Chain A
Amino acid sequence: MYKAEVNVTLRPAILDVQGKTVEHALHSLGFNSVGHVRIGKHITLEIEAASLEEAQKIARQVSEQVLSNPVMEDVAVTVHEVIAEEAGA
């Protein structure tokens, strides 16, 4: 089995109003060294696949077709194999 981690972020050209608001809040708390706050989504998936390549292909498909919208978002996908837990665990 494989586990995929998907990071969805607003494209750099798009004003991230949520990130801006958090950035303002951080500044008003005195964290003036902090800037360029961007907020995204972190999604984890488990995938049953015969090989790492197949798992990566599935992960990319779901990430590009469903989990992100290319008009406004970028998506980064990493996949790694999960060693099955011992029986009964």
Chain B
Amino acid sequence: MKIGVVVFPGSNCDHDAYYVLRHELGVEAVFLFHKEHDLQGVDAIVLPGGFSYGDYLRCGAIARFSPIMTEVIKFAQSGGPVLGICNGFQILCEAGLLPGALLRNRGLRFISKHVGIRVVNNRTIFTGDLESGAVLRIPIAHGEGNYHADPDVLAELNAEGRVVFQYCDDHGNVTDEANPNGSQFNIAGIVNAKGNVLGMMPHPERACSPLLGSSDGLGIFRSLAHSLEIVAA
């Protein structure tokens, strides 16, 4: 059993994700190159952060049409777990695997800092090891992370518990001051209707070791691994 990390030209968090899976969790991890059509029999896929294809046209717009994405889309549609982080979230939206879009940050600036995110739904395969309502300290690093969707889509996301993470303050309060980029409902991460595709702007792979200032992101990868029952003893 193994987890694949897709490598697009311009991906820059692919090795971080690989490192976490292999060395922090002891899971077999492989890189999946953007030009390939072979998913190498993986049980889950990570679309990592970065600036795929330079983020030209729109973030994720070109990556979405790369050869490997044909297979990733089929994999996701047949229920395979896919975790999209930052640019990966943008690609999932462009690919139509998640609703909505990520707009330019409200303050126009690229933001790189640790933020608080609240675990709103811990009944997903990505959050099963986390406590509902827990506050995770995880860094964000993006210029286009301002989540936007039509009002009916937002209502559906809320009604179905598909908002998984919301930006919050240190005490877990979801406030406008704690919203770094202007996302509607402070949305930091959502899942699809089937629950097998998660997109999130914060970078859990950058918060998986005390050395990096926070280990709060590890629970997300561990949850996924547990759900696949492939954590090494």
Which A residues have a C-beta under 8 Å from some C-beta of B?
Answer: 10, 14-15, 17-18, 21, 66-67, 69, 71-72
Contacts and interface: CB of A to CB of B under 8 A. Distances in A.
9 contacts: A10-B103, A14-B103, A14-B148, A15-B182, A17-B104, A17-B107, A18-B104, A66-B61, A67-B57
B104 A69 contact: no
Interface stretch (B93-101, B156-164, B216-224): B93-101
B151 to A, nearest CB: 9
A71 B148 contact: yes
B108 A17 contact: yes
> How many B residues touch the partner, as a band?
20 to 34
The list of the 6 closest CB pairs from A to B, nearest first, reads A71-B101, A72-B101, A17-B104, A17-B108, A69-B101, A21-B108
Contacts of B114: none
B65 A71 contact: no
Given A14-B103, A18-B104, A21-B108, A69 B94 contact: yes
Contacts of A10: 103
B106 interface: yes
A71 B101 CA distance: 6
A72 to B, nearest CB: 4
Interface in B55-74: 57-58, 61, 65
B34 to A, nearest CB: 17
A77 to B, nearest CB: 16
A72 B61 contact: no
Contact of A72 (B105, B148, B182): B148
Contact of B93 (A15, A66, A71): A71
B58 A71 contact: no
A66 B101 CA distance: 14
Contacts of A66: 57, 61, 65
Contacts of B148: 14, 71-72
Contact of B106 (A17, A67, A71): A17
Contacts of A67: 57
